[in-house]
Structure 1
Amino acid sequence: MNIDLPTLYLSQFITYLLLTLWLLLMGFRYRHEKALRIWGGASIMASIGVLLVVLRPVVPYWLGVDAAFMLLLAAIMLTWLGAASLENTRLPWRSGWLLWGVAIVPLLLLRGPDYFILRTQWYGVAYIVFHLLILHTLWHSPTRQRFGYRLAIGVTLLLSGVYLMRSLLPFFDDSPKLIASPYYLGCNLLASWLEYSKLLALVFICFERLETRLYREAMYDSLTNLFNRRAFYEHAPRFLQQQQGQPLALLVIDLDWFKRVNDTYGHLAGDDVLVYFADLLKTQLTPYQPVIGRNGGEEFVILLADSAALHAVAVADALRSTLAEASIPVHGGHQLTATISIGIACHHAPELASLQNLFMQADQALYRAKENGRNQVCTG
């Protein structure tokens, strides 16, 4: 079966049009993903550019060639900006349009059918440059180990290779019949498949980001950014299994007289105290690699292992004294102080320990700490 260039471009136009509608629908549905809307705009430009190429025999040369190339280059430039928006940084709009302007200058200078092959080569070079920018953006992402990033990087590399091949074809055949040769058509067909694959890979990155966001919302407390109750109870059993004979300690912590803070200074001030204490937990306990969670309200739970568990009382008392000496800025311009009561359950035979038993012992110790006047550490 023979496929000529207009037929190939027409199929590209229809596919781009469908992708455009899909991207725009998703972009307006998931408004937090700016990349989808940018790629939707890029697809609009690509669709119009490909349509002008299809209509080249019946439209003026400047429209079917000059305007088409300019729109297609603008589309790939926006694709790069969409990739940059994934990193939640300020988008380089000025740099993008400046590069686009530099890329189209030779297209405007080399006008006319006699320069068609040379223009096509330059278009390929410009395309490769923008794809290298996309690769640079994806490669330097802190989340590039995710499957979507690796897929997008691989497809973009292949696509750059195809455009490089197409740009080199005139060195082997510089006749006007080149654009109708099977090699040129094959490069265009492969490039069109890879363009769709690249776009789908980039969209897949957005779905991975959405999945990560939903996971965080399901597993992390939105105020303190610690594990919520559900996440803690899912991670704690695995933590116990991983210790392999190491001593364990469970700390149950309660902020003293917390209801008074809410009643006197308001719930925003109470939230400030919770956030301050959560940050203190992360700062002081991170070296011990604990499992930390907000158990609900003003209660927090911590699992320690190994040497940290052996010194759990000292670790807990350091937390208690640090918080008691702190001045906590809260809404309304107030500076508050807060104290905590801590109950500890220690077990030096992890194979006999269970989460339920540890909680029972730690809860009883916490009750004694409160009965004895609060702002203290008790062990079970």
Structure 2
Amino acid sequence: MDGVTGLDVHTLGIIGLAVGIAIALSFSLMSLVLRGMAALHVWAAAFWLLTFAGLAQGYDENGSFLSAIIGSVLIALANAAMLIGIAMHLGHPLRWRGPALVIVLFLLIQVGFMVWPPSQPLESAVFGLKSIFWDGWMVFFLLRAPRELKAGSLFTALVFVIDALFYVARGLVSLHPEMESPELASLLTTSNYLFGILCTFLLSTGFTLMLSQRLVHDLRVAANVDGLTGLLNRTALLKAAAPVLQANREHTHAVLLFDLDHFKAINDRWGHAGGDAVLQHFTRTLREGGIPARALLSRYGGEEFLLLAPCTSANVAVTLAESLRALVERSPAHYAGEPIMFTTSVGVATGTGTHIQRLIDTADAALYQAKRTGRDRVEAMVSDPSAGDRVNEATSAASALT
């Protein structure tokens, strides 16, 4: 019976080692392809550490120095790496100092156990508490995952919860009066290996799911957001505008179309890097210029920017456009230690209904009029003829401010 049990444990150890190497290798290969995902590199290192820990321990429980110290340190480092990878992946800052202090603390306890051997129940309880502590710390971060990463994070958190419950159950069993019996000790050893293999596989699945969700989210963002300014692109703006206009179809809406004056001259003098600096500065200026909270701001194309202000009257729209135009005029961008003065022309369109493209076309016509009549000015037109008198009055009032 003892020989069979030893063979079973040895076989489980070999299987666990093979599984660990396969998972660590797969994560390492993925990290070579997905180089921009820092958490993936950390998780690959964590799985290698777990594999080396199993190898160092020799897949036995003979209490040797190699098993008790080196293996325990590698497992603690693997837990710390998983924790830091989770924090990085979810955008929660976490330095090595906290995990390092925990590693040192448990290492000191392990050394103390080598000098003053504890009872088996006490050693099992401390080992279980260490695992439960790491599991709880990781669950804490995973439960704070943003909505777009929630599913994968919840699955991984569930794996860590199951792991913690396993060690709670193991600790309770270790308190049983028959704990010293060879049969129970053999059963616990076998269950440790089986659960370790299963848990490693489930963790790799959870981390892979988290990585997949991150990739899908990043691709969606890349498809909807302008990489230089961080604003919505044209496609995303049109998609986001449709439900807003539909929900407020009886109200007047405004579209402000901005074009940076003589932008080609800026690129010719300062290079494209200087032009990019101007575009980024212009974006910050608009965002900080008091645009309505519900407004949608996008880079419509090249040096053109579009602002959709739902439920905004003609008077308010023109006043806002003039305010932003004047703010841009007196707020130069800075590049290579020098200011870059620039201005913007603005076309304003207002109207009711759900046809965003009609408003954009009207704003584009107004923008053309602003550029044709001297640039650095605001021109307004309307899609709804009944609002024409109000817009003309607002345009005259805005012109009087300049």
TM-score normalized by the length of structure 1: 0.87
Equivalent residue, structure 1, for 2:44 = 40
The question of whether the paired residues in 2 share the 8 Å contact of 1:254 and 1:342 is answered with yes
Quick one: distance in 1 between partners of 2:344 and 2:118?
A: 82
- Per the TM alignment, residue 127 of structure 1 is displaced from its structure 2 partner at its CA by 1.1
The question of whether the paired residues in 2 share the 8 Å contact of 1:250 and 1:304 is answered with yes
Quick one: distance in 1 between partners of 2:345 and 2:374?
A: 9
Identify if the C-alpha distance between structure 1 residues 248 and 114 changes in structure 2 by more than 3 Å, giving closer, same or farther. closer
Quick one: distance in 2 between partners of 1:333 and 1:64?
A: 60
| Pairing of 1:146-225 with structure 2 (within 5 A) | 146-172=150-176, 173-177=178-182, 178-181=184-187, 185-186=190-191, 189-225=194-230
The question of whether the paired residues in 2 share the 8 Å contact of 1:69 and 1:123 is answered with no
Is 1:95 aligned with 2:98? yes
Equivalent residue, structure 2, for 1:358 = 359
2:288 aligns to what SS in structure 1? Answer: helix
Amino acid at match of 2:106: A
Aligned length: 373
Quick one: distance in 2 between partners of 1:156 and 1:244?
A: 49
The question of whether the paired residues in 1 share the 8 Å contact of 2:24 and 2:44 is answered with yes
* Fraction of identical pairs, as percent: 26
1:252 aligns to what SS in structure 2? Answer: strand
Q: 2:278 aligns with which of 270, 273, 277?
A: 273
Equivalent residue, structure 2, for 1:132 = 136
The question of whether the paired residues in 1 share the 8 Å contact of 2:20 and 2:200 is answered with no
Quick one: distance in 2 between partners of 1:256 and 1:26?
A: 46
2:342 aligns to what SS in structure 1? Answer: coil
* Range moving further from structure 2, 284-293 or 140-149: 140-149
Amino acid at match of 1:361: T
Equivalent residue, structure 1, for 2:398 = none
Is 1:252 aligned with 2:254? no
1:319 aligns to what SS in structure 2? Answer: helix
- Per the TM alignment, residue 240 of structure 1 is displaced from its structure 2 partner at its CA by 2.7
1:245-303 per-position Cα deviation (integer Å, ceiling 9, x unaligned): 22222222111222222223333222222111111222235533122211212111121
- Per the TM alignment, residue 332 of structure 1 is displaced from its structure 2 partner at its CA by 3.0
Equivalent residue, structure 1, for 2:294 = 289
* Range moving further from structure 2, 272-281 or 107-116: 107-116
Identify if the C-alpha distance between structure 1 residues 119 and 295 changes in structure 2 by more than 3 Å, giving closer, same or farther. same
Is 1:231 aligned with 2:236? yes
* Range moving further from structure 2, 187-196 or 27-36: 187-196
| Pairing of 1:106-125 with structure 2 (within 5 A) | 106-111=109-114, 115-125=119-129
The question of whether the paired residues in 1 share the 8 Å contact of 2:179 and 2:185 is answered with no
Gap regions ≥5 residues in structure 2: 382-402
1:110-142 per-position Cα deviation (integer Å, ceiling 9, x unaligned): 349985554333222111111222123333455
- Per the TM alignment, residue 329 of structure 1 is displaced from its structure 2 partner at its CA by 3.4
Equivalent residue, structure 2, for 1:83 = 86
Quick one: distance in 2 between partners of 1:56 and 1:151?
A: 31
Q: 1:299 aligns with which of 287, 290, 304?
A: 304
Identify if the C-alpha distance between structure 1 residues 146 and 88 changes in structure 2 by more than 3 Å, giving closer, same or farther. closer
1:40-83 per-position Cα deviation (integer Å, ceiling 9, x unaligned): 222122112223445538x9833345433333233222222222
1:311 aligns to what SS in structure 2? Answer: helix
Quick one: distance in 1 between partners of 2:63 and 2:54?
A: 15
Identify if the C-alpha distance between structure 1 residues 191 and 55 changes in structure 2 by more than 3 Å, giving closer, same or farther. closer
TM-score normalized by the length of structure 2: 0.82
The question of whether the paired residues in 1 share the 8 Å contact of 2:68 and 2:110 is answered with no
Quick one: distance in 1 between partners of 2:289 and 2:209?
A: 38
Identify if the C-alpha distance between structure 1 residues 51 and 248 changes in structure 2 by more than 3 Å, giving closer, same or farther. same
Gap regions ≥5 residues in structure 1: none
Q: CA RMSD in A?
A: 2.9
Identify if the C-alpha distance between structure 1 residues 309 and 86 changes in structure 2 by more than 3 Å, giving closer, same or farther. farther
Equivalent residue, structure 2, for 1:263 = 268
- Per the TM alignment, residue 225 of structure 1 is displaced from its structure 2 partner at its CA by 1.0
The question of whether the paired residues in 2 share the 8 Å contact of 1:124 and 1:167 is answered with yes
Quick one: distance in 2 between partners of 1:49 and 1:176?
A: 27
Equivalent residue, structure 2, for 1:73 = 76
1:110 aligns to what SS in structure 2? Answer: helix
Is 1:368 aligned with 2:375? no
* Range moving further from structure 2, 203-212 or 142-151: 142-151
Amino acid at match of 2:152: G
Amino acid at match of 1:316: A
Q: 2:340 aligns with which of 336, 361, 373?
A: 336
2:266 aligns to what SS in structure 1? Answer: helix
Equivalent residue, structure 2, for 1:242 = 247
The question of whether the paired residues in 1 share the 8 Å contact of 2:121 and 2:175 is answered with no
Equivalent residue, structure 1, for 2:31 = 27
The question of whether the paired residues in 1 share the 8 Å contact of 2:229 and 2:280 is answered with yes
Quick one: distance in 1 between partners of 2:118 and 2:271?
A: 77
Identify if the C-alpha distance between structure 1 residues 284 and 65 changes in structure 2 by more than 3 Å, giving closer, same or farther. same
Identify if the C-alpha distance between structure 1 residues 195 and 291 changes in structure 2 by more than 3 Å, giving closer, same or farther. same
The question of whether the paired residues in 2 share the 8 Å contact of 1:256 and 1:340 is answered with yes
- Per the TM alignment, residue 360 of structure 1 is displaced from its structure 2 partner at its CA by 2.3
* Range moving further from structure 2, 89-98 or 16-25: 89-98
